[in-house]
Amino acid sequence: MNRLFASLFLALFASGALAGQAPDTDTPAPAAAGATSTQAPAIAQFQKIEDSWSDAVNRRDQYGLELVLSPLFVDVSSTGDVTTRNQQVAQAINNDDKTFDLMQKVVTVRMLGDVAIANGTYELHHKVNASQIDEKGVFTHVYQRVRGGWLCINSQRTLLRADAGAKTKKPQQSTAEEPLHIPFFSKSDKGSNP
């Protein structure tokens, strides 16, 4: 009886250990807290959300924007303007600029439980006072998991500097005899004091 009990216990223990070691293919392995995700699934998932956002803005689609932006959404534009979701929707609907085009590309995603931070680049083509503006920059979007989906709660955009080739400044000419002036080791106009 003891042998039967011992062998039954050993069989159950061994099968439980093997089942615990089997990989779970349904859920991805959790990333280290604060680690940047370069895994294709996370980037691809948030790229779809960013594409939906861009399409909604470009098509002036109120419903599409409301599906991406949280009611708590706050946007800080590249010029420093702060707007809410309702203001973003109103701007998209009332935009008369036919050349308006927004493209966003996700570069990294950090998953922090029910919060995700997506960083990437964007290009915005629009008119300002009848002149065409091509704006390139980087963004940080903070998402919150809501009812199985993701809603953006915060957006920050920063313009990239203009290309160095576009505006070339003439380098300033130095008046020094030597490129590096060290007072104790370079020539001096002053004579030595005895």
CATH number of the CATH domain containing 49: 3.10.450.50
Could you tell me if residue 115 is inside a domain? yes
Could you tell me if residue 20 is inside a domain? no
Could you tell me if residue 188 is inside a domain? no
Would you say 108 and 43 are in contact if contact means Cβ atoms under 8 Å apart?
Answer: yes
Amino acid at 88: Q
pLDDT at position 13 is 47
Could you tell me if residue 101 is inside a domain? yes
pLDDT at position 170 is 53
Which helix (H) or strand (E) is 13 found in, with range?
helix 2-21
Could you tell me if residue 31 is inside a domain? no
Would you say 144 and 70 are in contact if contact means Cβ atoms under 8 Å apart?
Answer: yes
The two three-digit tokens of residue 88, written as one number: 């973003």
Number of domains into which the chain is organized: 1
Give alpha helix (H) positions in 34-110.
Answer: 40-59, 62-68, 85-94
- Residue-wise pLDDT for 131-173, tens only, equals 788 889 999 999 999 999 999 999 999 999 875 555 555 555 5
Q: Which residues of the chain have pLDDT under 50?
A: 8-9, 12-13, 15-34, 37
Could you tell me if residue 27 is inside a domain? no
pLDDT at position 100 is 85
Could you tell me if residue 53 is inside a domain? yes
Could you tell me if residue 189 is inside a domain? no
